[in-house]
Amino acid sequence: MACGKVILFGEHAVVYGVPALAVGIDRGAWADATWASPGTPGASSLHVHGWDITVTDDVDDEGLPLARALRDILRVTRAAAAVAAAQEQPTGPVMVQAGADLPPGGGLGCSAAIGVAVARALDPIAEDGAIAERVNAWERVFHGNPSGIDAAVSAMGGCVHFERSKKAREARESKPTIRRVHLARTLLLCIGHSGIASSTKTMVQAVARLRDRHPKTTHKAFEAISALVKSARLALEAGDVRAIGQLLDLNQVLLSGLFVSTPEIEQMCTLARAAGAEGAKLTGAGGGGCVVAIVEDTARGEAVLEAWKREGYDGFLTRVAPVAASVGRDAALPRAVQGSV
Ligand code: PMV
């Protein structure tokens, strides 16, 4: 099992080296792998249940993204096994079955969660940090220049403070700094879908174009988001739900300024606040996808879901507990994790 994620603060800016805060949620993805014996001819395959799609890894760069992602994750998994020569890794073709209970294009890290589930099924003893690194190879196929936050949170669960290097070249080559954030209390989040699927790659490219055309204003927005993330970390550690809500609202204003919000997202945020949420914002790439709202208690959470439902938006409540959610294996923190913030 690999969890889906909600970015609470810092999406988009995180691509350019601003820290971000994200939490793993109790919905996610699963995968099973069956290896043929070494030397068996034939390609490896991946079937994703629910999407009704099967791909094989014998593709070139023109192949379907999912097929290329399978090819690339197999390549890095096999390379890692070859480096760790002591570890025996099957070399024949592998048949992988996977599925997810996350909406694709919803901003909840569906592709990364499937990637993490597949990476774990291929190599069940790899540590979370290694899994997250391998999934970046998978994510690059779908997203071009992923920050890596989705894969890290999906592999680790809990609440995570994530920061990649500010320099573009280093960001691709060096390891990000990933730290666990210790929540003072369980967070109660409402997640609602705007009903519109969006492409992370397209939205990240749109922000990149905006940054090229208006470097100063975009830089100012990123600086403001960075300041928000600092305050948000303190609010999360203090369990101050009201402050977290206010900071979510401010982050939403800044995301609207980057033109990644939509009328549906704005409506959902307004509905959530009016129904008693402490704050709300889009989560993930925007341009559609999901909204996250924070509430003090279940009654208010249900009121938010009801308000969304009346306007035709589906949603669910999720709890993020202070202790890292178990996401399939109770591994030591990955190498890239450098203690709590
Ligand atoms: O929409 P998602 O779940 O793919 O999240 C994207 C988050 C971005 O910051 C917009 C991109 C990234 O790679 O971090």
Kindly give the pairing relationship between strand 20-35 and strand 94-100.
Answer: antiparallel
**Per-residue pLDDT reduced to its tens digit, 183-192:** 999 999 999 9
Q: How far apart are CA 18 and CA 38, in angstroms?
A: 45
Task: Please give the number of the atom of ligand 1 that sits closest to the Cα of 110.
Answer: 3
In the reported structure, the alpha carbon of residue 115 is separated from the centroid of ligand 1 by a whole-number distance in angstroms of 15
Q: In sequence order, what DSSP letters do the residues of 50-117 get, joined into one string? A: TTTEEEES---TTS-HHHHHHHHHHHHHHHHHHHSTTS----S-EEEEEEESS-TTSSS-HHHHHHHH
Lowest mean pLDDT among 28-37, 75-84, 173-182, 235-244: 75-84
In the reported structure, the alpha carbon of residue 150 is separated from the centroid of ligand 1 by a whole-number distance in angstroms of 7
Give the residues across from 279 on adjacent strands: 294
Lowest mean pLDDT among 78-92, 125-139, 285-299, 318-332: 318-332
Among candidate residues 19, 11, 22, the one with its CA nearest the CA of residue 320: 22
For 147-193, where are the alpha helices, taking DSSP H only? 149-156, 168-173
CB under 8 Å, gap of 24 or more: what pairs does 217-220 form? 217/257, 218/258
146 lines ligand 1 (CB under 6 A): yes
120 lines ligand 1 (CB under 6 A): no
Quickly state the pLDDT bin for 61 (edges 50, 70, 90). Answer: confident
Q: How far apart are CA 247 and CA 273, in angstroms?
A: 13
In the reported structure, the alpha carbon of residue 5 is separated from the centroid of ligand 1 by a whole-number distance in angstroms of 10
